[in-house]
Amino acid sequence: MYTHYYVFILITSTILTAVFIDTHVPYFPIEISRTASGGWAYYILSFGTLPLFLTSYIDKNKIDETRILMIFSIFIIAYYDDKKHLYEHQLGVLLLMLSFLYNAIKSEHKNANSMIVLICILLYILRMVIKASFVLILVFKNEIFNFYTWYNFLTTQQFIQVYEVCKDIMYNGDKSSYLKDNIDTVYLLNAFRLCGMIQWIIFWFLSVTVK
């Protein structure tokens, strides 16, 4: 109970600090970890995860290995932002998903909880597909349905180019050099905002599986 309240306060304070104090958020809504990629919000989210050990202990008078892994994963995600430490950040995401899946499997309602976690994993993948799709349209434009466009994309450095475009937009929003004077800017940023909201939904559903 205390843990759920504390997580809500932690996420809310991180978002408010990033938007109104740090004022560095490239667009909003945005993923929680990217909200805290700099300024005071970074310290709030990173070190604000540590009291979760205390709230988890208070809730159950003990703290099991699953909770420890969850909190450790959240700390990795918050401390290693995906702008400077992409692999460490993604490792934290992987550990977090696995810890929630393990917790669901050993829970009293394992079938329902496992299904929720699997749906959340699919939603996480869907976020990446949505972002990549809109960036591909931005990069390739009218050539998007051309077979050779996709062949070149998969066999040349264009894959890296698309990834770099995606990163630049995520970190700079409408100030990205790729979006200047581009009529598709509004649609693309709205797609990225949608992905940010999907992440919030994912974390809310994951939290439901933890008692």
Q: What is the mean pLDDT of each run of 10 residues along the chain (211 residues)?
A: 84 89 84 80 91 88 87 91 83 92 89 92 91 80 75 73 79 78 72 89 86 74
Each residue's pLDDT tens digit, 95-149: 999 999 999 998 888 899 999 999 999 999 999 888 888 888 877 777 777 777 7
Cβ neighbours for 114, distance < 8 A, ≥ 6 positions apart: 101, 104, 105
Distance, in Å, from the CA atom of 58 to the CA atom of 41, rounded to the nearest integer, reads 26
Give the residue extent of every domain in the chain: 2-208
pTM: 0.82
Are 99 and 75 spatial neighbours (Cβ–Cβ below 8 Å)?
A: no
CA nearest to 16, candidates 189, 8, 193: 8
